[in-house]
Amino acid sequence: MRRIPEDASPAPARASRLARTLFFVYVLLVAYASLYPFSGWRDVGLSPLAFLNGPWPRYVTAFDITVNVAGYLPFGLLAVLAIYPRLAPTAAALLAVAAAAALSLLLEAAQSYLPARVPTNLDVLCNIGGAALGAALAQHFAVLIGGGPLSRQRAAALLAGPDVDFGLVVLGLWFFIQLNPAVLLFGSGDLRDLLAPFDGRARRPEFFIVIEAATTAANLIAVALILSALVAPGRPVRAMIMLMMLAALSVKTAAVAILMRAENVFTWLTHGAQIGLAVGIAGALAAVALPRTARLVLAAVLLMAATVLVNLAPPNPYLADSLKVWQQGHFLNFNGLTRLVSALWPFIALGYLMVLASRRLK
């Protein structure tokens, strides 16, 4: 893959609205993950930047370094894609690395006031290194995005406009929440952890199976209908829906395999999830034949119904034992982030559906 020449004219390329939106969302996610759980704020009487002159951390693992580098790699990549072609590739990369350094310093300084977090100079260096790696990769991808092959493929497969770009972000966040192994398959909108502790009354497994199947099916159909509203006329929307579902299930399986023991890799595939998948896929493939307005209304109704069901669901009798072996450890902050996005996602999606409906009516 070729590099963008420094003297290449940016005229044929176009700035990516999608990259700018993704970059903004990613910054918010990084900030939340860095400061979670947002409790116990206190002033220890030291400068918030004192960690810069401190010694290297005593106990450092390859995992710690990998996580910090990987966490800022998308930052550097998205920053360059959001800036290009307004700046030359090298200038965009330098600005992206500088922005990553500023954000990392700010968040590490804020961690000085959190008893659960320990800011270190090594974290800052790893974050900057990750952003630099992402920026370097972006110099190869930018030419594909701005008027290149990927841009042409997107234009052929999807409708044009910022509304569609934001819709892709909504779907991207839906993929992101599949990374949490503790939530129902495709489940989202559980506000109980945010509003009040919830132990729940244990019920018979048959009751949970019904709740899980209905939640899975309703969310699956709703997401499929959101995707159908973005697809250009004449494109194979049903094939695209199936590919999206397979990708989401692959993400779910990979997340469980990484975060939990290998023997629990298909823990998420419970009896209720299997029923929900079968009903949801059949319903989604049939519902895309509805008129656009009907699809938007049905997606909104299903999202609201699924959110109510998630908040009424009793403790999962299938995951209870498996989650006992899940030592969150380094993933505690990541788990808190996925839970937040999962709780907010259906409300973001509902707002987006209302925007889609109102824009068509104008």
Residue 11 domain flag: no
Statement to judge: residues 143 and 227 lie in one domain: no
Say how far residue 64 (Cα) sits from the centre of its chain: 21
> What's at 260, amino acid-wise?
M
**Whole-number Å distance between alpha carbons of 280 and 38:** 37
Give the per-residue pLDDT at 105.
Answer: 93
Query: Residues 6 or more apart from 345 whose CB is under 8 A from it?
Result: 170, 173, 174, 177, 188, 189
Statement to judge: residues 57 and 133 lie in one domain: yes
Q: Which two tokens stand for residue 359?
A: 């824009």
Q: 175 in helix, strand or coil?
A: helix
- DSSP label of 147: S
Domain ends where: 112, 133, 155? 155
**Whole-number Å distance between alpha carbons of 22 and 227:** 17
Residue 222 domain flag: yes
Statement to judge: residues 312 and 183 lie in one domain: yes
Q: Which two tokens stand for residue 237?
A: 């929307």
Statement to judge: residues 324 and 192 lie in one domain: yes
**Whole-number Å distance between alpha carbons of 165 and 25:** 13
Q: What is the DSSP string of 264-285?
A: GTTTT--HHHHHHHHHHHHHHH
Statement to judge: residues 112 and 198 lie in one domain: no
**Whole-number Å distance between alpha carbons of 317 and 226:** 31
Statement to judge: residues 90 and 195 lie in one domain: no
Q: 107 in helix, strand or coil?
A: helix
Give the per-residue pLDDT at 297.
Answer: 94
Q: Are 56 and 122 within 8 A, CB to CB?
A: yes
Domain ends where: 140, 155, 170? 155
| pLDDT tens per residue across all 362 residues of the chain | 334 444 443 334 555 677 888 899 899 988 888 887 777 788 877 788 888 887 777 777 777 788 788 889 999 988 988 887 788 878 888 999 999 999 999 999 998 888 878 888 888 999 999 999 999 888 776 655 555 555 666 667 788 777 888 898 899 999 988 887 777 788 887 777 666 555 555 556 677 788 889 999 999 999 999 999 999 888 899 999 999 999 999 988 888 777 666 666 777 888 888 999 999 999 999 999 999 999 999 999 999 999 988 888 776 655 555 554 444 444 556 677 888 888 889 999 999 999 888 875 44
User: Residue 161: left (phi > 0), alpha (psi -120 to 50), or beta?
Assistant: left
Statement to judge: residues 210 and 328 lie in one domain: yes
**Whole-number Å distance between alpha carbons of 121 and 181:** 32
Domain interval for residue 102: 17-155
Statement to judge: residues 271 and 176 lie in one domain: yes
Statement to judge: residues 21 and 137 lie in one domain: yes
Helix axes 121-145, 62-83, angle to 10 degrees: 40
Quote the longest CA-to-CA distance of the chain.
Answer: 68
Q: Which two tokens stand for residue 276?
A: 């929900």
Statement to judge: residues 63 and 41 lie in one domain: yes
Q: Based on the structure, what is the number of domains in the chain? A: 2
Domain ends where: 128, 155, 182? 155
